[in-house]
Amino acid sequence: MKFFKALAVGSLAAGLALSFGSSAAAAPSLPTAEDTGLYGSQDPTFDGVFRQGLAISGLVAADRKVSQSSVSWLLNQQCSDGSFQAYRTDTEDECSVPDPETFTGPDTNSTALAAMALRATGESKASKSAVAWLRDAQNDADGGFPFIKGGDSDANSTGLALAAIRGAQSSSKNKDVLKRGQKYLKGLMLRCSSPKDQRGLLSFQSDPKVLNELASAQGALGLLTSLPSSPTSVSTKGGAIKCSNGKTTKKPKLTAALLAGLKKQLKKNNWLLPSSFGSGPDVSASSYAVLAMTSAERYGKKVKKVLKQIKNNAADFTQTDGAPSAGALGTLLLVSAATDSNPRSFGGVDLVSELKGSVQ
């Protein structure tokens, strides 16, 4: 249960890193004296930076104060080249060399979440350094982003990296990265050979090309906005994929088709996306979908139905082994801000107090 709960606030790429066995990471590390300011009491080995990024971004979105110790914890985790590992027990040590074979070293998911959180708190220098590292991590061959630099591209890592870069200052370099990343995601789109209610959604990677709900939601986030989310000017019209003899009759518009696909899957599954790991409804993936949909200002009535189900599951989602789950609380704070919901009573949960009370 702890394994799957940790995945609920991370990406599929991070989940794969854990599922590939003990070689994927060192032995779990309990929080140390250096962890003053870290949100959540659970083992931070696999998600320390990721959950801190969500927690900080969520508090900023809800217009709540972030303690300096929490920002300092994140800054201290940054590697000299601007990247972030999932967690460093001793920040005096150099960061590990990226190794896509063992899934160790700095990763794009942690770096993206940290970059967005640091930007939100005014730590522009550190955020720009993280974004620069992300740009360099983009794969030249296909324009996608890998979980570990040098590895194979995947939709989840690409979506999160694009979200971080989209929130950075506009520049020719960033625009080029966004364009190539979007092209990669378009190549993962399910089209006429897939069931009608899956068309427009994304697979995790190009092989096998099968529906992945979390990849679709995080991909949509990166195509539309950053964290904390804000309205976008990206066109979301013309989302229907029309087919004839198993082929599209015209070029599909990626963002619009992806949003339309998410709406269909949400409706089909009682307004919560199913877990990509086969473990029931996925509140995290559904939350990313809501952030994308509200940013595009589309499907207002549908968003309300998803929001109701997220609130119904908030109490369970925000707890791990009887303690507040910082990543989940940060995620729901982002959702509460995007939907103008009360963060002090979100499905009966005081998101602000629970998160602030979890800080070490």
CATH code: domain of residue 135:
1.50.10.20
User: Does any domain span residue 35?
Assistant: no
Range of the domain at 133: 2-21+42-357
Phi-psi domain of 152 (left: phi exceeds 0; alpha: psi -120 through 50; beta: other): beta
pLDDT, one tens digit for every residue, the chain (360 residues):
333 333 344 444 444 333 322 233 344 555 566 899 999 999 999 999 999 999 999 999 999 999 999 999 999 999 999 999 999 999 999 999 999 999 999 999 999 999 999 999 999 999 999 999 999 999 999 999 999 999 999 999 999 999 999 999 889 999 999 999 999 999 999 999 999 999 999 999 999 999 999 999 999 999 999 999 999 877 777 778 889 888 888 888 999 999 999 999 999 999 999 998 877 999 999 999 999 999 998 888 999 999 999 999 999 999 999 999 999 999 999 999 999 999 999 999 999 999 999 999
Query: Within a domain: residue 156?
Result: yes
For 349, residues 6+ apart whose C-beta sits below 8 A from its C-beta are 314, 315, 318, 332
Closest by CA position to 63, among listed 339, 333, 275: 333
274 within some domain: yes
pTM over 0.95: no
Nearest Cα residue to 164 out of 186, 189, 137: 137
What is the total count of domains within the chain?
1
- Contact partners, residue 331, CB within 8 Å, separation at least 6: 9, 54, 58, 284, 287
Cα separation, 115 vs 104, in Å, equals 19
Q: Is residue 32 part of a domain?
A: no
